[in-house]
A = this chain, B = another copy of it.
Amino acid sequence: MTRDLTIADIRLTPILVADPPLLNTQGVHQPYTPRLIIEVITADGVTGIGETYGDIKYLELARPFARRLTGRPVSDLNGLFSIVDEVAVDSTRVSEAVDVGGLRGVQTADKLRLSVVSGFEVACLDALGKSLGLPVHALLGGKVRDAVEYSAYLFYKWADHPEGVAHERDDWGAALDPAGIVEQARKFTDRYGFTSFKLKGGVFPPAEEIAAVRALARAFPGRPLRLDPNGAWSVPTALTVAEELADVLEYLEDPALGTPAMAEVAAGLKRPDGGLPLATNMCVTTFAEIQEAFTTGAVQVVLSDHHYWGGLRNTQQLAAVCRTFGVGVSMHSNTHLGISLAAMTHVAATLPDLHHACDTHYPWQSEDVLTERLTFTDGRLSVPDVPGLGVELDRDRLAFLHRRWADDDGGLRERDDAAAMRVVDPGWVTPAVPRW
A284 CB to nearest B CB, Å: 11
A291 lies within 8 A of B326 (CB): yes
Stretch at the interface among A61-69, A76-84, A93-101, A356-364: A76-84
Interface assignment of A193: CB less than 8 Å from any CB of chain B: no
Interface assignment of A57: CB less than 8 Å from any CB of chain B: no
Interface assignment of A230: CB less than 8 Å from any CB of chain B: no
A352: B residues at CB distance < 8 A: 78, 81-82
From known contacts A290-B324, A295-B295, A320-B317, infer whether A75 and B2 are also in contact, taking CB-CB under 8 Å.
no
A142 lies within 8 A of B291 (CB): no
From known contacts A317-B317, A317-B320, infer whether A78 and B141 are also in contact, taking CB-CB under 8 Å.
yes
A1 lies within 8 A of B317 (CB): no
A383 CB to nearest B CB, Å: 12
A323: B residues at CB distance < 8 A: 287
> Which of B132, B291, B325 meets A132, CB within 8 Å?
B132
Task: Give Cα A3–Cα B115 distance, bound, in whole angstroms.
Answer: 34
Task: Give Cα A150–Cα B250 distance, bound, in whole angstroms.
Answer: 49
B317 lies within 8 A of A143 (CB): no
Interface assignment of A144: CB less than 8 Å from any CB of chain B: yes
Max chain B CB contacts within 10 Å: which of A320, A323, A326?
Answer: A320
A287 lies within 8 A of B324 (CB): yes
A306 CB to nearest B CB, Å: 15
From known contacts A141-B77, A142-B73, A325-B291, infer whether A3 and B133 are also in contact, taking CB-CB under 8 Å.
yes
In chain A, residues 1-41, which have Cβ atoms closer than 8 Å to a Cβ of chain B?
1-3
Interface assignment of A313: CB less than 8 Å from any CB of chain B: yes
Interface range, A side: 35 or more
A288 CB to nearest B CB, Å: 8
A140: B residues at CB distance < 8 A: 78
A287: B residues at CB distance < 8 A: 320, 323-324
A2 — nearest CB in chain B belongs to which residue? B133
In chain A, residues 123-172, which have Cβ atoms closer than 8 Å to a Cβ of chain B?
132-134, 138, 140-144
A137 — nearest CB in chain B belongs to which residue? B78
Max chain B CB contacts within 10 Å: which of A82, A142, A323, A324?
Answer: A324
A311 — nearest CB in chain B belongs to which residue? B141
Interface assignment of A281: CB less than 8 Å from any CB of chain B: no
A244 CB to nearest B CB, Å: 33
A185 CB to nearest B CB, Å: 34
A78 lies within 8 A of B142 (CB): yes
Task: Give Cα A316–Cα B287 distance, bound, in whole angstroms.
Answer: 15
Interface assignment of A350: CB less than 8 Å from any CB of chain B: yes
A290: B residues at CB distance < 8 A: 324-325
By Cβ-Cβ distance, the 6 closest A-B pairs, closest first, are: A317-B320, A76-B142, A78-B141, A77-B141, A75-B138, A78-B142
Known: A79-B142, A291-B326, A295-B295. 11 other contacts (CB 8 A): A1-B133, A75-B141, A76-B138, A76-B141, A77-B142, A78-B140, A78-B143, A81-B352, A287-B324, A291-B325, A320-B321
Query: Which residues of A approach B to under 8 Å, CB–CB?
Result: 1-3, 73, 75-79, 81-82, 132-134, 138, 140-144, 287, 290-291, 295, 313, 316-317, 320-321, 323-326, 350, 352
Can you name 15 A-B pairs with beta carbons within 8 Å?
A1-B133, A75-B134, A75-B141, A76-B138, A78-B141, A79-B142, A79-B144, A81-B352, A82-B144, A132-B134, A287-B324, A291-B324, A295-B295, A320-B320, A321-B321
